[in-house]
Chain A
Amino acid sequence: MENGATYYRRWLDGDESAFAGIIEEYRDPVTFFIQRYVHDICAAEDIAADVFMYLVVHPRKYNFRDPFKTFLYVIARSRALDYLRKRKRAAQIPLDEAEPFLADETDLEEHVIRDDRKRRVNEALKQLPEDQQLAVHLVYFEEYSYEDTARIMKKNRKQVDNLLYRAKKTLRDLIGEEGELAE
């Protein structure tokens, strides 16, 4: 099975169709990851498009040694934080205007998280602080190692350990031992 780096190499070598493989494989996970930061599915889609645009306009930035997905997530995090900084200065979209897009968010979740148990965890996860959400997302949903998680979040290993410890503790209170959400 081809991974992202292989697709990217092929695209850089002139195979136009290879970029579709990258989009196919990484669009939803990247968008979902960005959604964790911005809590706005439209903005997340928009930022995801910028992340893939980065691959097109800066073809020499990727070194082909690190995992391609990690490279994408680092860009995604950076773009998401940029967006949050800009949003602080801009007017917010009223909630009633944002509501029609909630269905898209649900679609995306269902598309990315196919496991029911994970979906329940995801629901509980929304009640955690943002850092803890991201750490759990990367380790639990994206199956990143603690080291890669720390790299993407620009934190050290110890900080990720702490975040995950606190997140697990809270989730244990929210989700029963059988995996049910606590009322």
Chain B
Amino acid sequence: MRMSNEDFQAEVFRRSAAYQRKQRSRIRILTGAGAFACCLCLTAALGIFLPQLHAAKTFENATTDNMSQYKGEEEQAEENTPETLNDEPADAAPDIAETPENSEAEDNTAEPAPEYDGPTVFVEKTDEELLDYYGLDSLPAAFDEDIELASKEKFWAIYDQYQHGLTVAEDDPDTVTEDRNTWAYIGHMRFVYLTLFKWQYGDSETQYDHKDKESEYESITDYALFTANGIGVQISYASFKPEDFEDQKMIKKIEQEVRDYLNEHRTDSAES
């Protein structure tokens, strides 16, 4: 039996009302879902970018501080006369090694990174003071301006791992990373840098290693570690090397130069 026209019209309006209710509800759901998705995206974006922003800010601050320290060191070195330096260099470094702060760093392995001030002590030293501390009479040839591979972007750092917390910090990788980062940046756009430390247990074979960029200090890819004449040497170089740079050849060349240098320039008094 067919519907009358009145019933048909009533059915049309009933369907229209139902359709419009459904549409309104769909719009509400879509609006809610859209707002929720926006909130999620915003939260995710903040989660991603805020730490990066914070890290960048921290790095920028550290850079500014360290550069000003580095400049201060250079200015101080310029102001100091050679006579003044010759009066007290040999004693200066051992004194630092015996300061209460350094003893604490050695004893307390759980100390957080900010309290580790070993590198800062060395930043304040002039080149000559550091050389005296290690019993060296000049910089290694690898640091010389005339050496082609290190001519433009060289960086050098000298510190005593055993007295200034690196062995301590090995238990705390973050401290090591923080420490190396700081040092690397104090230099220039680092390319190759050497790390010297006192070593009193005889010479060792050279150990070569390749660091995983994911887990280690990002810009350092390879290094060689050896000891000679009472000094431990770590040669590290960065991943952004020139195209003509041949990894093993280069590192061996620097290693040989440093060995030769230590044989020639390490003073007897320092070795003992």
Residues of chain A touching chain B, judged by Cβ–Cβ distance below 8 Å, are 19-20, 23-24, 27, 45, 48-50, 52-53, 56-57, 104, 107-108
User: Which residues of A sit under 8 angstroms from B2, Cβ to Cβ?
Assistant: 45, 104, 107-108
Residues in A neighbouring B9, C-beta threshold 8 A = 19-20, 23, 52
User: Is there an interface contact between B19 and A23, defined as CB atoms closer than 8 Å?
Assistant: no
Q: In chain B between 132 and 160, which residues have their CB closer than 8 angstroms to a CB of chain A?
A: none
Docked CA distance A53–B68 (Å): 78
Of B5, B12, B23, the residue contacting A56 (CB under 8 A) is B12
B19 A53 Cβ-Cβ under 8 A: yes
Q: Does B45 contact A (CB under 8 A)?
A: no
- Chain A residue contacts of B1, Cβ below 8 A: 104
If A45-B2, A104-B1, A107-B2 touch, does A27 touch B15 (CB 8 Å cutoff)? Answer: no
A50 vs B9: C-alpha distance when bound (angstroms): 11
Do A27 and B16 touch (CB < 8 A)? no
Interface size class of B (residues with CB under 8 A): 10 to 19
CB distance from A172 to the nearest CB of B (A): 34
Interface residues as binary, B1-37 with A (CB distance below 8 Å gives 1, 0 otherwise): 1110110110111011001100100000000000000
CA distance A48 to B11 in the complex (A): 11
Q: Which residue of B lies closest to A52 (CB)?
A: B12
Give the nearest-CB partner of B2 in chain A: A104
B16 and A56 contact, CB distance less than 8 A: yes
Contacts of B15 on A, CB cut-off 8 Å? 49-50, 53
In the docked arrangement, what's the CA distance between A164 and B250, Å?
Answer: 90
With A19-B12, A107-B2 given, name 13 new contacts (CB 8 A).
A20-B6, A27-B5, A27-B8, A45-B3, A45-B8, A48-B8, A50-B15, A53-B12, A53-B15, A56-B12, A57-B19, A57-B23, A108-B2
Q: In the docked arrangement, what's the CA distance between A49 and B16, Å?
A: 10
Query: Closest approach, in angstroms, between the C-beta of B226 and any C-beta of chain A?
Result: 77
State A130–B3 Cα separation when bound (angstroms).
Answer: 27
Q: Name the residue among B13, B16, B23 with the largest chain A CB count within 10 angstroms.
A: B16
Q: A104-B1, A104-B2, A107-B2 are contacts. A23–B20 as well, Cβ < 8 Å?
A: no
Is A23 a contact partner of B3 (Cβ separation < 8 A)?
A: no
Query: Which residues of chain A come closer than 8 Å to B12, judged between CB atoms?
Result: 19, 23, 49, 52-53, 56
A52 to B13, CA, bound (A): 9
Is the pair A53, B8 in contact by a Cβ cutoff of 8 Å?
Answer: no
Choose among A49, A57, A104, A107 the residue that contacts B8 (Cβ–Cβ < 8 A). A49
- Interchain CA distance A90-B186 in the complex, whole Å: 75
List B contacts of A49 (CB < 8 A): 8, 11-12, 15
Q: Looking at the complex, which one of B3, B5, B13, B16 makes contact with A24 (CB distance below 8 Å)? A: B5
User: Shortest distance in angstroms between A21's beta carbon and chain B's nearest beta carbon?
Assistant: 10
Kindly state the separation between the CA atoms of A120 and B8 in the bound complex, as whole angstroms.
29
| CB atoms of B16 and A20 under 8 A apart | no
Report the nearest B residue to A108, measured CB to CB: B2
Contact (Cβ within 8 A) B5 A57: no
> Hey, which chain B residues are within 8 Å of A108, CB to CB?
2
| Residue pair B5, A53 in contact (C-beta under 8 Å) | no
Q: For B5, what are the chain A residues with a Cβ–Cβ distance below 8 Å?
A: 20, 23-24, 27
| Known interface pairs A104-B1, A104-B2, A107-B2; A23-B16 also in contact (CB < 8 Å) | no
Shortest C-beta distance, B247 to chain A (Å), equals 66
Which of chain B's residues have a CB closer than 8 A to the CB of A50? 15
- Quick one: given A19-B9, A23-B9, are A53 and B3 in contact (CB under 8 Å)? no
